[in-house]
Amino acid sequence: MDTAALTATAEALVAPGKGILAADESSGTIKKRFDSIGVESTEDNRRAYRQMLFTTPGAADHISGVILFDETLRQSADDGTPFSKLLADQGVIPGIKVDTGAKPLAGSEGETVTEGLDGLRERLAEYRELGARFAKWRATYTITDDLPSNYCYEVNAHALARYAALCQEAGIVPIVEPEVLMDGTHTIERATNVTAHALEALYRALFDQRVYLPGTLLKPNMCLSGYSATTQASDDQVAAATLKVFGYCVPAAVPGIVFLSGGQTDEQATARLNRMNQMGPHPWQLSFSYGRALQAPALKAWGGKPENLGAAQAAYAKRARLNGLARSGDYTPEMEAA
């Protein structure tokens, strides 16, 4: 294992002022996104949409890496340049989603375990040949009065650690994503407790399976009130609660935490990341790995029409720039109207 190379890639992904674009939507998810703008989810439309994002002028100033779907990693731009090379030529690191999705957890109704370990060693070797330098695996945890169970915490932590070890063997930086889903009426205190349990199980498994932590990144949820809760925590409360749990549970050897946006609005995801960075310094870089919160305005502006390319790229560039500013606590809500 080339630990120096793994560390260098992980640190480059959380370089100051930069974060990660998650463009790894599954076929089902990208269809829902396209349905919302009345565009058919064909392979060529998906390629055209992602090409629009990857060729946005100035985006590389704020985007360090892009997580791709298997189909996208194999696609090329109009001029024949593979997307992985198109990104790398801009100094943007190509990554790849490698799990095959969350499936029902046998013996525990209402819970899931993420699959995809079978054949992963061989797939990782192929992905590296295709240009991928980091990967992502997502586990999900549902909050109810009784869930998650310890069983769910443990099996997902084990799978995340197995995936991470195989990635590092292949010279690929693993992003581990234990996502506590914020659907429900739970309090922010309950979300914080569940997030802590998921992280504790994860880092115990990573240690047991000999994963090199400086060559990894963590992609977690922020700690929020349930989306249907009567009382919603403020941005300051979200930032403080999230930092508290990560301070307890995430080793300082981890170079960076790249938050997912979940069901937050674009502005909330940016403002809360900004507030956490204002509360620093921290032992890790606090960055972003946003999908919808970076893409939603661009998707709407694009609408599947080539003549809207400029407006769509401007919308994406704006969100990339504002999240880049949030990396240093320099974002203000007034910038949204600029």
Nearest-CA neighbor of 202 among 255, 172, 240, 164?
164
Cβ contact 146:190 at 8 Å: no
**How far is residue 49 CA from its own chain's centroid?**
19
Q: Is the dihedral of CA 238, 239, 244, 247 positive or negative?
A: positive
Among 111, 177, 179, 318, the one annotated catalytic: 177
Nearest-CA neighbor of 191 among 143, 140, 263, 243?
143
Q: Is 177 a catalytic residue?
A: yes
Q: Is 122 a catalytic residue?
A: no
DSSP string over 72-97: HHT-B-TTS-BHHHHHHTTTPEEEEE
Phi, psi of 91 (to 5 degrees): 80, 15
Among 18, 97, 136, 219, the one annotated catalytic: 219
Report the catalytic residues. 177, 219
